Amino acid sequence: MSLLEYFHGVQKRLPEEAERVIKTLEDTGPMNKEDLSLTAKVKRAVLDHVVMQLYALGLVDVSTEGKSKICSLTKLGYEFLNLKDAV
């Protein structure tokens, strides 16, 4: 299986909110979960679930700054955005 095929399979399995989260992080850069929830228009409870899926796939990184969890796109996340529509 090629990376393109893998990304295509990932795209099919992720909830629709995941694409909004990824695109928001691409457009806006790293942000805390509250801002990400508002900007991506994803309910906070759903956002936590989506972010953990994206984190497990290595597409998003989550770091702690004080009490905030900061989400950012990883290098693999950027590759996913570039290649996901290629298949």
Range of the domain at 18: 3-83
Burial 59-75, CB ≥16 within 10 A → b, else e: bbbeeeeeeeebbebbe
Query: Cα–Cα distances in Å, from 72 out to 5, 28, 36?
Result: 24, 10, 10
Count of domains observed in the chain: 1
Give tens-digit pLDDT for 17-74.
999 999 999 999 999 999 999 999 999 999 999 999 999 999 999 999 888 899 999 9
Q: What tens digit of pLDDT does each residue of 21-35 get?
A: 999 999 999 999 999
Q: Which helix (H) or strand (E) holds 64?
A: strand 60-65
pLDDT of residue 83: 78
Q: Domain containing 35 — which CATH number?
A: 1.10.10.10
